[in-house]
Amino acid sequence: MGRRVAIVGTGHSKFGVRLDVSLAELAYESIREALDEARIGLDDVDLVVVGNAGGWSSEPLPAIVVNEYSGLSGKATLRVEAACSTGSSAIKVARDAIASGDAEVVLVVGVEKMNESPTPTVVEFIGRAGNYFWEFENYGLTFPGYYALYATAYMFNYGASEEDFCQVAVKNHYYASMNPKAQFQRRITVEDCMKSRYVAWPIKLYDSSPITDGSAAVILASEDVVGKITDSPIWIEAIGASSDTSNLSKRQNFLGLDAARKAALQAYKKAGLDPEGVVKQLDLAEVHDCFTIAEVMAYEDLGFARRGEGVKLVRESQTYIGGLIPVNLSGGLKAKGHPIGATGVSMAVEIARQLWGRVERGRQAPVKVGRGLAHNVGGTGHYAYVTLYSLSKPRG
């Protein structure tokens, strides 16, 4: 297994349309906050891992630009990309470097400046992230189109409605309204969601995550030095990772993401958790709600509900604080925002701060077992990472 690894510092920029800063400046907002929280200096960092999907922003070598601006030139560095799961994959790369003994302290920063390109260009770039020749070029599938396939299949098989999906948006906007770093801080109603324009039926504007600029950062440290930095580390207990076919026509069905299910089972096995009763072993989860249907499928892929019963959690408000398991108390991708390379790191920041009890009043989860889960999906289930974060040191 190698050495155990923990989060010792976190940072998070304001998410939104950030035309006021460059990519490097945006990254530094979260880097500086993470270093300050860990109370360490630049000299203490052995490696910098930059998560950035890119394409829409001006910098082709974001790791170098971010390092130079942040005073980290000369440090070992690399850029990681795994579509929308880039942030979680960057954390895994950093975790593995420390676990292997190659580094003691690693800075992970996810950053994206998506609004440097016009919306049609961003939509095209994301659409190309499916299977370019068969799906985008020949049939014009966009990402809302992909998730519309999932939504219609789910509605047909399990009797879900558009109103059910809108309830997910209502919940996530509710919690985002209390998150000062969120892109959207206005609460909405089911009626607001239902009245929003269709993007790809039954996906509406308010079912969709926005185009976002933002950054998030975590400082990871080995078990050998954690005690010198903090007395309250958040341990990376387990990481599960999987992938699926590029072409959706080769998938078994459109009722879930098999890569996410496999990644979850891997993580649970490594942590010694019972997949059948996993909700009782978690305090909260941050899941990849790029569209509202994606959150419902995540409930089932993660084992929070049986197949076809995820919609019941929505109808019964079981994913609010006080329910079966609080989900996306940050506002999720839907309302907090989705700066692609930063999303997985943002999830880690949120879970760490929740376990520390350091989030805003009204969206703090009760911490009973001291464990949170991050579910980060790349593409339409092409990549999947499920990461367990814990107040307790992982078993050896």
Residue 290 known to be catalytic: no
- Across-strand partners of 385? 241, 376
Cβ-based burial of 176 (10 A; exposed 0-12, middle 13-18, buried ≥19): buried
Give the containing element (helix H, strand E) for 39: none
Q: Give me the DSSP letters along 335-393.
A: HT---GGGHHHHHHHHHHHHHHT-S-TTSPPP-SS-EEEEEEEETTTTEEEEEEEESSP
Catalytic pick among 12, 173, 288, 338: 338
Cα dist from 352 to 58, 232, 233, 374, whole Å: 31, 10, 9, 11
Q: Which residues of 58-68 are buried (b: 16+ CB within 10 A; e: fewer)?
A: ebeebbbbbbe
Q: SS3 for 179-236, per residue? A: CCCCCCCCCCCHHHHHHCCEEECCEEHHHECCCCEEEEEEEEEECCCHHHHCCCCEEE
Kindly calculate the radius of gyration of the chain based on its CA atoms and give it in whole angstroms: 19
Angle between the 292-301 and 143-158 helix axes, to the nearest 10 degrees?
Answer: 60
Cβ-based burial of 118 (10 A; exposed 0-12, middle 13-18, buried ≥19): exposed
Residue 84 known to be catalytic: yes
Catalytic pick among 84, 166, 193, 290: 84
For residue 330, give the DSSP letter. T
Cα–Cα dist 176/181, whole Å? 8
Catalogue the active-site residues.
Answer: 84, 338
